[in-house]
Amino acid sequence: MLYVAYGSNIPTKQILSRCPSAVFYGKGFIKDYELKFNFHADIEPCIGEKVPCVVWDIDNVDFQMLDYYEGYPRYYGRHYVFIELENGEMEKAIVYEMNIERKVLTSPSKDYVDCIRSGYKEFNLDEWHLDKAIDEIGIDNRTEEKYYRH
pLDDT at 149 over 70: no
pLDDT at 75 over 90: yes
Q: Looking at the 3D structure of the chain, how many domains does it have?
A: 1
pLDDT at 148: 36
Residue 19 lies in a domain: yes
Do 76 and 99 touch, CB atoms closer than 8 A?
yes
pLDDT at 107: 81
Residue 148 lies in a domain: no
Supply the mean pLDDT for the chain. Answer: 90
In whole angstroms, give the CA distance from residue 24 to residue 137: 31
pLDDT tens sequence across 8-28: 999 999 999 999 999 999 999
User: Domain range for residue 128?
Assistant: 2-136
